[in-house]
């Protein structure tokens, strides 16, 4: 067992990692920007090191500063958390080259799976269906036109190295193709330093479903059920739940079989998710996230597994404290992301409690919410015996939560939970724009 680990992240996920490490007997080192000097993860860690000024490009995104802090503090490993450098293959290589262990898969796998064109090819190799699309990147207008003629309209242009909705545009007519192709190429270059794009048939009104994977790097793969992440705004997830109300056991089994084969044969190590688009005709592989996900507590509530603990063991000792295959799940879990709509100082914080309630956050009374980083300030997760009971529990906990000092999306989340279409389970990725865009 390693003795000391540095967390190359901030906020809620850093707090989450610290708590698991403390239970494992692992000391933690936090890194922080000057804007986060008073943050909760800095207070909870055994040691803390300032790595730069507020802009992430000068602090949390500077690999050399993070690795130097880890070496000077006598760390044996670095956990990247989510976002920032968590799926940066160059950073992972630098970590390994410095003699530290990277809590994540092999850098070559991060690179392979982070390339959406290459990942599609891998999915096909392991028998997973993919959305009809181009097998290679599309570099010019003529190739794009030929692809669209073969696929039919509408299509979606995607950055090969993309994520978070950047470098992605829907095309519904040939007249729109040229300008959207140029815009996607430009956005891909600006956001990912990689101007490659590819084209897929656009799936109208799909569900977004992902499997939570844990793998030991030696071929053992455990699947902790699926999560339905369909409720989104601008491609950003807002509510996640499990089990998905949209899929049956036959689809679950097919997804799990393909995912298990893929992660096992690739010798994937640690936590990851494999994401699918689901429509009436079936399901399609979308991408792999080679890291832990923000919404991992949903799977933890359903299975009782500490995903951070298992991820750390897999990446440092090549072992899991779990049997392989599909893990048993019980009940229903839902997570609402609480996003700050403005920066500020927390003047009042009252958190909900009771059976089956979990509140993950970096907030405390008088905590600062800086304007420089991701807007998510908390996650509210509930678990109950079935979906209706979980919805009732989420409504109750949202009504109890009080966050003063910053504006949040809390009330909008409550309206979402109460909406009859959401409660019916018969919604798709257009739900927010159709029913909640006020």
Would you please indicate which residues are annotated as catalytic (active-site) residues?
A: 291
Cα separation, 20 vs 307, whole angstroms:
9
Helix (H, G, I), strand (E, B) or coil at 163: coil
* 331, 383 contact by CB (below 8 A): yes
| Angle between helical axes of 11-24 and 307-317 (0-180°, round to 10) | 70
How far apart are alpha carbons 393 and 108 in whole angstroms?
Answer: 43
**Residue among 236, 246, 233, 304 at smallest CA distance from 276:** 246
Q: Rounded distance, CA 208 to CA 228, Å? A: 6
How far, CA to CA in Å, does 370 sit from each of 258, 377, 429?
42, 10, 30
DSSP strand E in 397-438: where?
A: 402-404
Alpha-carbon gap, residue 302 to 105, rounded angstroms: 24
DSSP 8-state code for residue 322 = S
Cβ proximity of 129 and 283 under 8 Å: yes
Pairwise CA distance, residues 189 & 187, whole Å: 5
């Amino acid at each position: 067992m390693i003795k000391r680990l540095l967390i190359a992240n901030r906020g809620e996920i850093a707090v989450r990692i610290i708590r698991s490490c403390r239970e494992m007997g692992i000391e933690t080192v936090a890194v922080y920007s000057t804007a986060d000097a008073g943050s909760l993860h800095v207070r909870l860690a055994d040691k803390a090191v300032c790595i730069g000024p507020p802009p992430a490009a000068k602090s949390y995104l500077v690999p050399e500063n993070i690795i130097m802090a880890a070496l000077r503090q006598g760390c044996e490993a670095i956990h990247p958390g989510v976002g920032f450098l968590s799926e940066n293959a160059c950073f992972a290589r630098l970590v390994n080259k410095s003699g530290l262990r990277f809590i994540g898969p092999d850098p070559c796998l991060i690179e392979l799976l982070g390339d959406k064109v290459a990942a599609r090819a891998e999915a096909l190799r392991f028998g997973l269906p993919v959305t009809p699309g181009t097998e290679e990147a599309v570099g010019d207008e003529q190739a794009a036109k030929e692809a669209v003629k073969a696929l039919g309209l509408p299509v979606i242009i995607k950055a090969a190295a993309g994520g978070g909705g950047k470098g992605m545009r829907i095309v519904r007519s040939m007249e729109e193709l040229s300008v959207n192709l140029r815009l996607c190429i430009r956005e891909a270059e600006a956001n990912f330093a990689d101007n490659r794009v590819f084209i897929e048939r656009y799936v109208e009104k799909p569900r977004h479903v992902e499997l939570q994977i844990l793998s030991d790097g030696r071929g053992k793969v455990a699947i902790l059920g699926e999560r339905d992440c369909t409720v989104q705004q601008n491609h950003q997830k807002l509510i996640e739940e499990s089990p998905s109300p949209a899929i049956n056991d036959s689809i679950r089994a097919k997804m799990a079989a393909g995912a298990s084969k893929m992660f096992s044969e690739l010798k994937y190590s640690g936590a990851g998710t494999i994401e699918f688009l689901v429509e009436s005709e079936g399901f399609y592989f979308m991408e792999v996230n080679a890291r832990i996900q923000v919404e991992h507590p949903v799977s933890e509530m359903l299975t009782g597994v500490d995903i951070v603990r298992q991820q750390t063991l897999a990446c440092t000792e090549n072992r899991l404290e779990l049997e392989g295959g599909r893990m048993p799940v019980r009940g229903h879990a839902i997570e609402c992301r609480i996003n700050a709509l403005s920066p500020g100082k927390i003047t009042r914080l009252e958190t909900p409690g009771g059976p089956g309630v979990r509140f993950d956050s970096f907030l405390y009374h008088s905590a600062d919410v800086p304007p420089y980083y991701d807007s998510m300030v908390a996650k509210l997760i509930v678990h109950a015996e079935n979906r209706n009971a979980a919805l009732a529990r989420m409504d109750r906990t949202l009504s109890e939560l009080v966050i003063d000092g910053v504006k949040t999306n809390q009330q909008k989340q409550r309206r979402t939970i109460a909406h009859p279409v959401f409660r019916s389970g018969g919604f798709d990725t257009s739900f927010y724009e159709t029913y909640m865009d006020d």
